[in-house]
Structure formats: C-alpha cells, structure tokens
Amino acid sequence: MRNLAQTCVFMLLLTACASVAPPPTTTRTIAQIMETIPASDWAPLDPEMTLYMELPAGRVIIALAPAYAPNHVANIRALAREGYFDGAAIVRVQENYVAQWSRTAESPREIRTARATLPAEFDRAITPDLPFVRLPDRDTYADEVGFSGDFPMARDPRTRRTWLTHCYGMVGAGRDVGADTGGGTELYVNIGQSPRNLDLNVTLVGRVVQGMELITVLPRGTGDLGFYLTPGERTPIRAMRVAADVPPAERTNLQTLRTDSASFAELIAARRNRRDEWYLHPAGAIGLCNAPLPVRAAPR
Amino acid sequence: MRNLAQTCVFMLLLTACASVAPPPTTTRTIAQIMETIPASDWAPLDPEMTLYMELPAGRVIIALAPAYAPNHVANIRALAREGYFDGAAIVRVQENYVAQWSRTAESPREIRTARATLPAEFDRAITPDLPFVRLPDRDTYADEVGFSGDFPMARDPRTRRTWLTHCYGMVGAGRDVGADTGGGTELYVNIGQSPRNLDLNVTLVGRVVQGMELITVLPRGTGDLGFYLTPGERTPIRAMRVAADVPPAERTNLQTLRTDSASFAELIAARRNRRDEWYLHPAGAIGLCNAPLPVRAAPR
C-alpha cells in the first residue's frame, strides 16, 4: 500500500490533526448503556432492503446496503423475487473464511428478469449525504474507518472514495477472475477472522444481522476452498425472500442501533475501555470488525 | 489507551523512524512459495509441548507456549498427565467469540498433583533470547506486533513487555474476576473475529494448530455467554494427553513453518500484496491475526 517514506509523510499529516475531538468516554458499563437506550436510537430494518434466507435450521436475515452497491442490491432483490435462490444451496464452507451459496449443477435455474453479471461496485465516491461515523483508532488496512448506517466501512480522504469492509458477517457477491463477473447469483458471508484483504476486491452487498450461528456451525467442506465434494453435504436453501414480500405476520421485525446515535458513541467508548469488573486492562482501542452492532426484536 | 495529544506525540516519534528497513517484497504467489519451501524452514512440534484433545469428531492439536506462560503450561501438562481433562466437556460455545471446556458439576474430578489456580502470566519481559519477527503494518491494539515462534504476539518497546495476542485459534486459561484465579483447569479457544480486547486480561497458553473445524461447528449454547443449558448438549472430551505420552504410532506428527525463516517472510510479503490473478487490489498490509501460520504433516 505504501512504502516507509510515504508512511512518514502520512504520519506528519496526522500530527497536524490536533483539532480533531478526542473520542468520547464513559464510566458506564456496556450492560448499563444497553439498559437505557432511548427508543429513538433504534431504527427498524427497511423490509424492502432486507432478505430472509430460509435454511432447514431457521431464518438468516440480511440487511442490504443500497448506498454502496445499488445495482447489485437491486439485482439480488430481483433474483430473490423471481425465486432464483429457492432451491439453491450452501455449496462451500471454508474454515475461518467464508460460507457461499448459489444454484448448483444438479439444480440449475434460468435467470428470468435479473442480470447474470454486473459491473463491479467495489467502492463509491464520498458524498455529503452519506453517513460516516468514524472510529478513533488506527486500522491496519485503511486510513479512516467507521460506520455508514448499519455497515462497517472505510474511506480514503485523498481519493474521496469509500467502501464497505470485510468484517465478520458481511455478505458479498462472489465473482470469477474479472472484476465485472459478479452480480449476486453467488453470495458469501465471512465466518472467521475478518478477511480484510478482500476489501476493494469484491462487491459487498450487505450484512447478516441475525442467524450467523445457523451458518457458522455447518460442516466445513473437504474439497478445495471448502467446497463440498458431494451434493448431499450441501445445505439446501428453502427460499430467499425480500422481507417486504413476506406476509407481515411471518416477518421478523428487527431494529438496529443507529450508528449515528449518542448511545452507539457511548457503547463504542465503553468497549474501548471496558469498565466491567472482570476487565483488568482496558484495551484503549477498538478494531473496526470488533465493534458491536446491536440488533433487537422490535418492541410490540 | 491514549488520548489525542499522546497520539500525536507517538506519531512524531514514528516519523523519525526512517532507518527501519522496508518490508520484503516478492513477485511470487502464495502457491508458488509454498511449493518451494526448504525442509529446513519447517520445524516439528515438540511432543512435550503439544496437547492432543480427543473429541468424538477427532483430534484437536494444541501447541503450548512455555516461553510466555511457563507456569500455566507446566500446570496444564500436569493436569493432562493426571487425567484431569479425561471426561471433561466443552461446556460453552459463544457465537463469534469462544469455545470453552472444563470439568462439570455432573462429572467432577479432584486435582491431585497440579494446581487449581496460579498467578497470572498476562505478559513477560522482552529478553534477547526471545524470538521476534515483526510485521510491518500498523495494529489497532499495540504498537509492535509479530510472531515469537509459533505464536502471534505484541510488544511495547517503552515498557519492554511482550504478550501473546487473542488471534483466532489461540487458547487461553479462563479465570474469574481476580487476575490470579486462572491456572488452566478451564481453557477456551477463540472461534470468531479475534477478540483482541482480551489481550493482557487473560493468560494465553497456546494455539490450536489442527482441528479448529471440529470445534467451530459445534452448536452455539443458548444460555448466557453461550453456555449450554443442559448437560446433554455438551461435547465430551474423551481424553487430553501430552503428545509425548502417546505411543509414537498414534501421534500426529506436524511441522510448522518457522516464523523466523525466509519462506515465512516471503509468504507475508505475498499476502500483503497478493499476485494471484484473482486479486485486483493488493491490500498493501496484513493484520496480525490474518497472517498465515502454515502447518503440515511431517514427511515420512
């Protein structure tokens, strides 16, 4: 990314940043903060931008990221709406890396209205309307990291570009060698140490906000890259639906904590320096992919 | 850890570091490097410092870290040698966090020769005999990170202290609220995004070098902290043995790539900037817990 000389230039620039506000602090524990979050700091998931993936073990819920991958998100919704993923399968689970799903040779299905491939949406321009809640600590892979809405992301203030980051639970559109060979017909989710080296190499389309534990327990495939060697090892996907198309009584109504809320800022402060009695050495920092992104069932 | 003023001081210090050598580079891919590693760059695990944990699904192999936790490692070996863990169980699996094992109320066992608790070994002094292979990129949680033998670690050049880090697969000694309440009778392994906020809070004792996929697929517990609510949900541990005590014909003879070898340095360089055709945007950096630590079966 940069050689040493460039690093030192960058450090000098940062040294001039003394007007940046210090990160917030708190004396409350995480449990205390969670107890008093005002209702206005929680936001419902948009049913039009939420996917339900129905596995034999239950429902996996994915929040889509149209601000970062508008064309892929539109295409994945179109694929879901034409039933493309109904009868697909989880075909690959690679230990400490990804789980991936798609149609299979044994159960192919034609695409009717959606697109098979799309131009890459690896990054986008920084614009004033795009939320950005910055984390205060240094990151190995990017100069600025934080959250935009429900998603972990990074930005480069020099190029004015921003991109979603490969944190645990993030969902991406698998592709072949060419940048424009993805599109959403194959999707994967990060299930181990966040593979941040994939950032800017794949179009990320959203995040699993509920049901990771239904995916992470699946047997690892014994073929190359964790692909299952036989069709019988795969996990069938009964259906994948846009939440808005599911009858209201069958929906899972979740709320996420707004990352631009005071509660979230305090939660991050409490995680950077934990006050819980058990913690003897407060970390003094928090990694992008270690930050909590609370989700709850909507109160009735 | 530090406020903004301190950060800027630290940045200024780093700016003066122009004599540090740039990280090595390579034009070879990871596959190409792996094909030509000389035998001398592989080192066998020491059977006296290796544990075999026998689960119903197979053998989990743990390399112990006596250089960092000498008393805990000695105690865990003593516990294993008196059969303390035979008939113990994995009692807790918390999604994206840890799996933990211990004796249970239903199957207690007295400690005979080992110790129930030990003083903490959260960190140790930097000494000239302790290997240190530094990674070139910045880390969120520590000023210097890299490897010492088979283990990811961090150091603070100002305090001259060093400690093992909570990367995926690292094994620690669970404790209660007091620092000196651990000792090795309860052990855990990190199974998700590396919880680096635990660094310097727990004594890390080693790393799973084979068999993570036997642990990560276990059902997540539905109680608080991922504890199983009923004994029947637990995974029994048939036995935990020091490898040296296992008949040679029943051992799993593994070798790890020496982190102080030229092959490892080239591998890190290749992972920082991947040359594989699929990668369109080389990361230019590598996180401590993203670094590969290759393991292979010893050639016959």
For A281, the closest chain B residue by CA position comes to B201
Contact across the interface for B8 and A1, Cβ inside 8 Å = no
- The distance of Cα A92 from the centroid of its chain, to the nearest Å, equals 19
- Window B:231-260, CB contacts with A under 8 Å: none
Instruction: State the nearest Cα–Cα gap between B35 and chain A, in angstroms.
Output: 16
- Print pLDDT tens along chain A (300 aa): 334 333 333 443 343 333 445 677 888 999 999 999 999 999 999 999 999 999 999 999 999 999 999 999 999 999 999 999 999 999 999 999 999 999 999 999 999 999 999 999 999 999 999 999 999 999 999 999 999 999 999 999 999 999 999 999 999 999 999 999 999 999 999 999 999 999 999 999 999 999 999 999 999 999 999 999 999 999 999 999 999 999 999 999 999 999 999 999 999 999 999 988 999 999 999 999 999 999 999 998
Question: Average pLDDT in the B167-176 region?
Answer: 98
For B218, the closest chain A residue by CA position comes to A217
B279 interaction partners in chain A (CB closer than 8 Å): 197, 201
Distances (CA, A) of B15 to A2, A9, A54, A269, B170: 14, 8, 53, 28, 33
- Window A:64-123, CB contacts with B under 8 Å: 95-96, 122
Which fold does the domain A24-293 belong to in CATH? Cyclophilin (2.40.100)
Helices (H), B159-261: 212-215
Question: Average pLDDT in the B11-24 region?
Answer: 48
**What's residue A13's pLDDT?**
39
Burial of B208 (0-12, 13-18, 19+ CB in 10 A): buried
Question: Which is nearest to B62 in space by CA: B200, B211, B218?
Answer: B211
B277 interaction partners in chain A (CB closer than 8 Å): 177
Average pLDDT value over all residues in chain B: 93
Instruction: State the nearest Cα–Cα gap between B281 and chain A, in angstroms.
Output: 6
Residue A197: helix, strand or coil by DSSP?
helix
For A213, the closest chain B residue by CA position comes to B95
CATH of B46-254, one of 1.10.3720.10, 2.40.100.10, 3.40.50.970, 3.40.50.150: 2.40.100.10
A267 interaction partners in chain B (CB closer than 8 Å): none
B212 CB within 8 Å of a chain A CB: yes
**What's residue A300's pLDDT?**
87
Instruction: State the nearest Cα–Cα gap between A279 and chain B, in angstroms.
Output: 6
**What's residue B225's pLDDT?**
97
Residues 6+ apart with CB under 8 A from A33: A26, A263, A266, A267, A270
- Window B:168-207, CB contacts with A under 8 Å: 168-169, 177, 179, 192-197, 199-201
Domain spans of chain A, in order of start: 24-293
